[in-house]
Structure 1
């Protein structure tokens, strides 16, 4: 059994058995991806507060904000009297989560680490919120679509790319970073895939030596990607041929059903340069 599945199933049986198995009616989501997945499994009416940047779906923008990357507003959470708080294990400060638990609040964790974990979490959040059928349906649909994408691209010709997380400092993706997992699925050859860390800094000399055929940058849907930094390096194949790809940042960086849109967008854009 998936470790996360075992942990959350244990939470379900332990946390709610003592409450006569009542479904939580007041849920606080402490990360944008948690908010989005709760809406996807049918728990929209139960979500009473969210974290900063929880902007999808649109109705989530109307909810109170009680957390950001810096921490959780403990007082605001307590004032809302939630039945359940769902925290992001990799993002929500541990001290804040511990404090919420010490104050008697029920807390569950979300921590997707791979593309396949999105399916698992949809199912689990459906169970936690009392929507097991819709959660299972969403999970199955995601898993099926992800498998289809893998089958579509497993035999494609690879293309060498550089994924620019930022240019000041110059950084990229590697190992288990979300964009790297998508690059691998799309048969993109990332020369820095095995560099230490998921989001390593690199030197421009290393990029020049790698000679990527395509440079990829993410941008928010309301902002155009800026490739002007690269124009000073015409010896790069990607620059000489003006082969740049801009992808939707929300699709790439949020672990939700919309991740499928990000993979599709990335793979189809790369198809032009194979």
Structure 2
């Protein structure tokens, strides 16, 4: 069975290579974008932006991270953003595919790019300053440049205001450890160059492990040395830490967060999506950090 699967996958990739040679540049020109009526949106933030630009009715299917607005969850689902099936996407008969950068796997994305269908990859760097450009890129992809420009300007203004407000806090900043998951007794934590790091800073906090880059498992010694005041996680999901799981770990229990039971859970897309609601997420996180709500 396994050999049949890989043979079929190899055939698809080979076919994709042939299509790529024959296809035109895979850019959604403005005419195509404006007329696209069956968009497959891959990535929760891309989907959120399309809805914010009043393009939700044009979405034919979404991935599993597309949870906002709630009506997005009623669309056909083509799988997890990093485990997309090219066949599943193409079965939706899209006339435009929009994906966040980092969508995968690589072979599936190669097939989609080689299919002859307009395919747009939206840059998604883990930086607050990149959010307005992300909104404009989606607007360009779906032919809503004017609406996207207005939304991008609004969001940029909101981000400037929340950053200035949170930068003016008095007293020491809360040290926050973002825990993505728990594996083999170790916390998978967010260092620099992550969405979590960007959001913690926007909210006026300090990343307790900003000396590392990306998401890395921490040793017990590293957790204790980080000395977080608060543990931050995403809501829901089988791999996400609960408060009980977090502070059952001796290393976390020994930190200021563990001793005070300081634990915050927030909606994952809101917290990490770096989309139109980023200022809302920062305001919520700031309130939980500094207004005594970090102990649910």
The alignment status of 1:161 with 2:179, answered yes or no, reads no
- Answer with 151-160 or 212-221: which moved more: 212-221
Partner of 2:282: 263
- Whether the aligned pair in 2 keeps the contact of 1:153 and 1:187 (CA below 8 Å) is yes
Partner of 2:69: 57
Distance 1:67 1:181, change over 3 A: same
Distance 1:218 1:61, change over 3 A: closer
Q: Distance in 2 between matches of 1:26 and 1:89?
A: 20
Cα shift at 1:244? 2.4
Partner of 1:172: 189
Q: Distance in 2 between matches of 1:218 and 1:80?
A: 30
Q: Distance in 2 between matches of 1:106 and 1:260?
A: 32
2:132 is paired with a residue whose SS is helix
Partner of 1:84: 96
Cα shift at 1:253? 2.3
- Whether the aligned pair in 1 keeps the contact of 2:65 and 2:269 (CA below 8 Å) is no
Deviations 1:112-153 (A, max 9, x none): 112222211212212221222221121111111111111001
2:78 is paired with a residue whose SS is strand
The alignment status of 1:187 with 2:204, answered yes or no, reads yes
Q: Distance in 2 between matches of 1:185 and 1:212?
A: 17
Q: Distance in 1 between matches of 2:32 and 2:81?
A: 34
Cα shift at 1:69? 4.0
- 1:214-233 to structure 2, matched below 5 A, reads 214-220=230-236, 226-228=242-244, 229-231=246-248, 233=250
Superposition CA RMSD, Å: 2.6
Structure 1: gaps (5+ residues)? 1-10
- Whether the aligned pair in 2 keeps the contact of 1:41 and 1:125 (CA below 8 Å) is no
Partner of 1:137: 150
Cα shift at 1:101? 2.7
Structure 2: gaps (5+ residues)? 1-24
Q: Distance in 1 between matches of 2:33 and 2:45?
A: 26
Q: 2:130 aligns with which of 93, 96, 117?
A: 117
Q: Distance in 2 between matches of 1:20 and 1:205?
A: 55
Partner of 2:270: 251
Q: TM-score, normalised by structure 2?
A: 0.77
Q: TM-score, normalised by structure 1?
A: 0.83
- Answer with 162-171 or 232-241: which moved more: 232-241
Partner of 1:240: 259
